[in-house]
Structure 1
């Protein structure tokens, strides 16, 4: 019973469990490089206090992200109800995932375009909600003075990694919806 509940509540992040070589590039490598570059630029140009305080850079970015969940949920609804046969075809070089149907696990289940896009946009929705909560909680946490500077920079790096992941995957999802889905290949 408990494992079914955990399974069901973690399905919105199941996008991260897809098995596909390109996933590592879009999910982690590109966001990691962008996070490192942007952190280095911020480190060289700004004091960390101006980045992490109320109305600082991260607070402003969180304000932008706050509006995303509504749009992403609308995208989920649109993808779920698209009425084109091509969306229910298996993808070429399809990513695979392990799924549970009742008490049976199905290994390496291939995804249709609809499955893939639903998992991607569900993950983006959860990630955007998490990022907003992450920033709001971090803004009220007070660290001891001895580790405050390191803790603030660690927060900046963590936020930027997830922020860049959100943007990269959002751009990839829009590319897939706008171009790949209409190619019928």
Structure 2
């Protein structure tokens, strides 16, 4: 197996198929919110450099995101050990069972791919693994890019980073709310 497959497996949440509205939650809503945010600051003629410096939106959001991985890991541990039989029921919707493709290695060393139906536990574990990985990615990206932007003082680089940071942050927040809906409401329903 490819080592990168293992390292980036927390992002496997994005490859889940068959969950109603998931594509919209994962990609479209964060894109719309990023666009609205960008247009808001654009029409205010707010300089991108001001968003990045101390007291700016990027730094404020980064402080908030710095605390999230611990909470996501705690949620992941709670889900993995949750003792209720309904959590191991398959996820269902009007189009059938949501699924993922799992890659494995046979005894002879050949690689295969199989379709795996999702249970509520697996779905939530994948979701909170993704949130943990995304928050760590945002923290790392911020730690690397902000010093470069401070050194280069490029408006184009600042604007580009604000858009990328905004998109990832909105994706993190929207997916968090989607996960909270499943964890706080949907998981307790018997169907």
TM-score (ref. length: structure 1):
0.91
Alignment RMSD (CA, Å): 1.6
Q: Which residue of 1 aligns with 2:15?
A: 17
Match for 1:162 among 159, 164, 168? 168
Query: For residues 70 and 144 of structure 1, do their structure 2 counterparts lie closer, same or farther at Cα, with a shift above 3 Å needed?
Result: closer
Identify unmatched segments of 5+ residues in structure 1.
Answer: none
Counterpart CA distance in 1 for 2:87 and 2:81 is: 10
> What does residue range 99-110 of structure 1 map to in structure 2 within 5 Å?
99-103=102-106, 104-110=111-117
Counterpart CA distance in 1 for 2:59 and 2:116 is: 40
Is 2:149 the partner of 1:133? no
For residue 23 of structure 1, report the CA deviation from its aligned partner. 2.0
TM-score (ref. length: structure 2):
0.89
Count of aligned pairs? 181
Is 2:179 the partner of 1:181? no
Counterpart CA distance in 1 for 2:12 and 2:122 is: 11
Counterpart CA distance in 2 for 1:59 and 1:29 is: 25
Identify unmatched segments of 5+ residues in structure 2.
Answer: none
> What does residue range 41-52 of structure 1 map to in structure 2 within 5 Å?
41-45=40-44, 46-52=46-52
Counterpart CA distance in 2 for 1:52 and 1:68 is: 20
Q: Which residue of 1 aligns with 2:64?
A: 64
Alpha-carbon deviations, 1:124-161, whole Å to 9, x = none? 0000011111112111004756xx21221111111111
Q: Which residue of 1 aligns with 2:88?
A: 88
Alpha-carbon deviations, 1:60-109, whole Å to 9, x = none? 10000000000000000000000000101110133211112333534331
Match for 2:155 among 149, 155, 180? 149
Q: Which residue of 1 aligns with 2:100?
A: 97
Judging by fraction of residues, say which structure has more helix: 1
In terms of mean alpha carbon deviation, does 17-26 or 102-111 score higher? 102-111
Q: Please give the secondary structure, in 1, of the residue aligned with 2:185.
A: helix
